[in-house]
Copies of this chain bind each other. A is one copy, B any other.
Amino acid sequence: MKDPAPHKKTRRAPPEGGPVTMATVGRMAGVSQVTVSRALSNPEKVSAATMQRIQEAIRVTGFVPNALAGALASRKSSLITALVPSITNVVYSSLLHGFSEIMRAEGYQLMVSETGFLPETEEALIFTHLSRRPDGILLTGIHHSAAARKMLLGAGIPVVEFWDITESPIDCCVGFSHTETGRRTAEAAFGWGYRRAATVSAGDERALRRRDGFRSRFAELSGDRDIPGITGEAGPASLQSGRLALSALIAEHAFQGGVIHCSSDQSAHGIVTEARSRGLRVPEDIAVIGFGDQDYAGFTDPPLTTVRVDRDRLGRAAARAMLTRFRGEEDPERVTDIGFEVIRRGSA
């Protein structure tokens, strides 16, 4: 028997065994597809009896709604996109943790990618992520390529930049001044009596600003213009890189002692470890200041003097900034400085 409608094109065989949709559920419950949709999003607008039958049908069929279709139709994906330099770095992963906790509670899901500290990669990822039509986007830092900024602006969604602050964010930023941490660390160290210093820094842009803040302020205060420094590559420092850095400082820069400003607790820990295994006393011979106040910082021996940033609060503040924008509030805060704290423990 020929198909009576010559122009009826079907892509696939009839709907036997096809995906379970709201229509499937509706058929089984004796209602239309729309009613199923309503039962799921506005339960109060459906009669109790209908609700019962629909729920039973959902149970039997194992129906899982298609959020892709929902997002397309409603123009709301409930998706938040996040770009961080590296997820293996606790600093960023803990921030994401705090952020996603709040966003999840509000029904949003996170899609994360790593930029590897590379602006080109970030730019490419922004494009890919925007194609998923997220409701908002979270970026690390305040430096993004011109093309990236353009795409972001064009997307017309909230953009939260975190872990740094600027007077001119794309949309809004939540963080603290990296330069200022360096300066305040220098002031603290000078106040504790240190007159000679050195720096050990990772190569990424923010670590360098922390280092430079320390350098210039310490020079100002102590008059010492010759502060030796070891600078690594962009990317996370490790305990090992800290050990190597101290060795290099001693071997190549004839470092004689004083305080060492590190761009991370990891490298600070490495320096302490290396110093001890060389029989040097910490902080008497070599004092060390870390950055980040990682979970272990208070429990090393000696415990690390470091800069504490309330990452939990930062993550939450970023989430709050985004939620505020979703609510469409008038004139929301553009810059949130959550500050930091220099914590003195045993290592300096």
The interface of chain A, by Cβ under 8 A from chain B, is: 62, 64-69, 71-72, 77, 79, 86-88, 90, 93-94, 96-97, 100, 104, 109-114, 127-133, 150-151, 154-155, 238-240, 243, 266, 269-270, 273, 276-277, 295-296, 298-301
Contact = CB atoms under 8 A, between A and B. Distances in A.
A64 B277 contact: no
Nearest to A96: B87
Contacts of A239: 295-296, 299-300
Nearest to A302: B277
B77 A88 contact: no
Contacts of A87: 87, 93, 96-97
Q: Which of A79, A128, A238 has the most CB of B within 10 A?
A: A128
5 contacts: A67-B131, A68-B71, A79-B132, A97-B114, A110-B112
A266 to B, nearest CB: 8
B132 A238 contact: no
A130 B243 CA distance: 46
A127 B239 CA distance: 40
Contact of A151 (B64, B69, B104, B128): B64
Contacts of A110: 111-113
Contacts of A299: 238-240, 243, 270, 273
A102 B272 CA distance: 37
Contact of A66 (B127, B133, B266, B276): B133
A11 to B, nearest CB: 10
A254 B270 CA distance: 33
A112 B112 contact: yes
Contact of A132 (B68, B133, B301): B68
Contacts of A96: 87
A98 to B, nearest CB: 10
A208 to B, nearest CB: 22
